[in-house]
Amino acid sequence: MTQQKLSDTVPAAPGLQEAAGPVVPTPAALSALRPLGLGQARLRAEGLLGRWRRRNAEDTLPHCVDNLHTAGNIGNLRAAAGESEDEFVGMWFADSDVHKTLEAAAWQLATSPEDDGLRSFVDDTTALLARAQREDGYLNSYFTVVAPQERWAKPDWSHELYCAGHLFQAAVAAARTGVSPDLLPVARRFADLLVERFGPDGVEEVCGHPEVETALAELYRLTGHRPYLDLAQRFLDLRGRGLLGHGRFGPRYYQDHQPVREVREVTGHAVRQLYLLAGMVDVAVETGDLALLDAAERLWADAFRSRTYVTGAHGSRHREEAYGDPYELPSDRAYGETCAAIASFQWNWRLLLATGRARYADEMERVLYNAVAAAVSSDGRHFFYSNPLQLRTGHASSGEEAASRRLPWYSCACCPPNIARLMASLPGYLATADDGGLQIHLYGDASLTAPGGRRVEMRTAYPWQGRIELEVAEAGGDGQAWTLALRVPAWCDTYTVSVGGEPVRVPARDGYVRLTRVWTPGTTVVLDLDMPVRQVTAHPRVDAVRGCVALTRGPLVYCLEQADLPPGTVLEDVRLDPGAEATAARREDLPDIPVVITAGGLVAHAGDSLYTAGARRERTGTPLTLTAVPYFLWGNRSEGPMRVWIPVAAAG
* pLDDT tens sequence across 438-457: 999 999 999 999 988 899 99
Query: Residue-wise over 482-509: b if at least 16 C-beta within 10 A, else e?
Result: bbbbbbbbebbeebebebeeeeeebebe
Last residue within a domain, chosen from 508, 529, 550: 529
Hey, is 463 helix, strand or coil? Answer: coil
Beta bridge partners of 560: 628, 643
Residue 2: the pLDDT is 34
pLDDT tens sequence across 589-599:
898 899 999 99
Residue 602: the pLDDT is 93
Q: Do 186 and 328 have their domain in common?
A: yes
CA–CA distances in Å: residue 201 to residues 36, 195, 198, 377, 549: 39, 10, 8, 49, 56
Catalytic residue (one of 211, 218, 286, 321): 321
**Stretch 100-111: mean pLDDT:** 96
In a domain, 5, yes or no: no
Q: How far apart are the first and last CA of the chain?
A: 51
In a domain, 1, yes or no: no
Q: Do 38 and 158 have their domain in common?
A: yes
Q: Do 446 and 592 have their domain in common?
A: no
Cβ atoms 401, 386 nearer than 8 A: yes
Catalytic residue (one of 414, 415, 492, 548): 414
Q: What is the CATH number of the domain that holds 454?
A: 2.60.40.1180
Q: What is the DSSP string of 157-202?
A: T--HHHHHHHHHHHHHHHHHHTS-SSHHHHHHHHHHHHHHHHSTTS
In a domain, 119, yes or no: yes
Cβ atoms 648, 576 nearer than 8 A: yes
Q: What is the CATH number of the domain that holds 93?
A: 1.50.10.10
Last residue within a domain, chosen from 466, 498, 529: 529
Query: How far is it, in rounded angstroms, from Cα 368 to Cα 42?
Result: 18
- Average per-residue pLDDT in the chain? 94
Give the model's confidence band at 14: pLDDT under 50 very low, under 70 low, under 90 confident, else very high. Answer: very low
Q: Do 501 and 550 have their domain in common?
A: no
In a domain, 161, yes or no: yes
In a domain, 652, yes or no: no
Q: Do 202 and 229 have their domain in common?
A: yes
Residue 401: the pLDDT is 62
Cβ atoms 108, 58 nearer than 8 A: no
Query: How far is it, in rounded angstroms, from Cα 378 to Cα 502?
Result: 40
Query: How far is it, in rounded angstroms, from Cα 111 to Cα 122?
Result: 15
Cα 274 from chain centre: 11
Cβ atoms 207, 279 nearer than 8 A: no
Closest CA to 492 of 470, 462, 520: 462
In a domain, 4, yes or no: no
Q: Do 621 and 488 have their domain in common?
A: no
Residue 15, judged by CB atoms within 10 A of its CB (0-12, 13-18, 19+), counts as: middle
In a domain, 3, yes or no: no
Q: Do 425 and 450 have their domain in common?
A: no
In a domain, 6, yes or no: no
pLDDT tens sequence across 303-312:
999 999 999 9
Q: Do 339 and 237 have their domain in common?
A: yes
Q: Do 493 and 589 have their domain in common?
A: no
Domain that holds residue 235: 13-390+398-429
Report the run of H or E that residue 502 belongs to, with start and end: strand 502-504
Query: Out of 13-22, 139-148, 289-298, 582-591, which region has the weakest mean confidence (pLDDT)?
Result: 13-22
Q: Do 507 and 623 have their domain in common?
A: no
Hey, is 401 helix, strand or coil? Answer: helix
Number of domains in the chain: 3
**Stretch 537-548: mean pLDDT:** 96
**Phi, psi for residue 235 in degrees, rounded to 5:** -60, -40
**Would residue 414 show up in a list of annotated catalytic residues for this protein?**
yes
pLDDT tens sequence across 454-489:
999 999 999 999 999 999 999 986 789 999 999 999
Last residue within a domain, chosen from 529, 558, 587: 529
Q: Is the pLDDT of residue 513 over 90?
A: yes
Half-sphere exposure of residue 516: CA atoms within 13 angstroms, side-chain side: 7
Beta bridge partners of 390: 643
Q: Do 153 and 203 have their domain in common?
A: yes
Q: Do 546 and 482 have their domain in common?
A: no
Residue 11: the pLDDT is 35
Q: Is the pLDDT of residue 61 over 70?
A: yes
Give the model's confidence band at 8: pLDDT under 50 very low, under 70 low, under 90 confident, else very high. Answer: very low
Name residue 130's amino acid: A
Closest CA to 644 of 405, 390, 404: 390
pLDDT tens sequence across 345-403:
999 999 999 999 999 999 999 999 999 999 999 999 999 999 999 999 988 776 666 67
Parallel, antiparallel or unpaired: strands 34-35 and 437-440: unpaired
Closest CA to 384 of 372, 395, 375, 373: 375
